[in-house]
Amino acid sequence: MADYDWSQRNILDLAGMGKEIALHTEDLHVYYAQNESIKGVDMAFEKNKITALIGPSGSGKSTYLRSLNRMNDTIQIANVTGKIMYKDVDVNSDQADVYEMRKYIGMVFQRPNPFSKSIYDNIAFAVNRHGKKTKAEMDEIVETSLRQASLWEQVKDELNKSALALSGGQAQRLCIARALAMKPDILLLDEPASALDPISTSTVEETLLNLKDQYTFIIVTHNMQQAARISDYTAFFYSGDLIEYDETKKIFTRPKLQATEDYISGHFG
Ligand SMILES: Nc1ncnc2c1ncn2[C@@H]1O[C@H](COP(=O)(O)OP(=O)(O)OP(=O)(O)O)[C@@H](O)[C@H]1O
């Protein structure tokens, strides 16, 4: 690896550009016991855009993403400091209602994790936990969310079938449908297509592109082509720091920093 000056930064000031911000972090640090895995990240996400987080393995992308809806709470040795601002509420404060917040900031994981229930109940179960619906209301929610996730046509005649019988790509789209059924503002996706075949991957990508006018997506990906294809903004992480953050077309054509250019062209990481 070349000898980079890691103190250099190029970070887009979206708020300063007058963009509508869905979420932002201020001086966010994440520690696992004594190890500082995120080292004070200030970053804003534009509403109704797709932002890709890229960087070598271990650079902290997943740690940062998971902190945005307090998923790191489940890790005993994890400690998150700093602010995560969503609609004037600091998601990271002790007063934040984590259960309520996750309705608005949802998450889709790398491995599809459908519940051992029917396709219909995978969605209904999640929705019902946040308030009972009539059968007609629930039918509508199930259909709409499956349509949004581009799965309705394939499963509409077998909604009572076990979700565990779906293919990997279908199961991941069910997980996206389940997350969308909660009507979140923001969806965090941690390498959602890395366990999928190329056709399922492109269906998931199309799904995100079709929905981006209605949702803010933040996606961790190792796939540079995927980041270039679907995201509006790209953030390059290295060793727990946000190094470069810019419009995707700039990052992939003329990034300001050599380290970013070398990373996206496969010279290291
Ligand atoms: N549960 C955990 N306990 C302790 N350390 C952790 C834990 N999760 C992540 N880390 C450490 O935090 C650092 C960042 O890891 P993280 O998984 O966030 O990176 P990443 O960029 O998402 O990597 P990858 O692309 O391989 O998923 C690494 O040093 C990792 O070992």
Residue ranges of the domains in the chain? 10-113+182-264
The region that residue 187 occupies, defined by phi over 0 for left and psi between -120 and 50 for alpha, beta otherwise, is beta
User: Does the structure's ipTM exceed the value 0.95?
Assistant: yes
Long-range interactions of 57-60: CB distance < 8 A, separation 24+: 57/222, 57/269, 58/239, 59/237, 59/238, 59/239, 59/240, 59/269, 60/30, 60/237, 60/239, 60/240, 60/241
Residue 196 Cα to ligand 1 middle (Å): 22
The CATH number given to 10-113+182-264 is: 3.40.50.300
With bands split at pLDDT 50, 70 and 90, how would you rate the model's confidence at 6? very high
Please tell me the distance from the alpha carbon of residue 207 to that of residue 109, in angstroms, as a whole number: 16
For ligand 1, atom 24, the nearest C-alpha belongs to 57
Residue 269 Cα to ligand 1 middle (Å): 14
Q: Of all atoms in ligand 1, which is nearest to the CA of residue 62?
A: 22
Q: Is 95 in the pocket of ligand 1 (CB under 6 A)?
A: no
pTM, whole model, 2 decimals? Answer: 0.96
Residue 42's H or E segment, with its range, is strand 35-46
In 3D space, the residue among 82, 77, 49 whose CA is nearest the CA of residue 64 turns out to be 82
| DSSP character string of 21-33 | EEEEEEEEEEEET
Burial class (CB in 10 A: 0-12, 13-18, 19+), 223: middle
For ligand 1, atom 26, the nearest C-alpha belongs to 57
pLDDT of residue 42: 98
The type of residue at 262 is D
Ligand 1 pocket mutation pick from 61, 223, 242 by most atoms within 8 angstroms of CB: 61
Q: Tens of pLDDT along 143-182?
A: 999 999 999 999 999 999 999 999 999 999 999 999 999 9
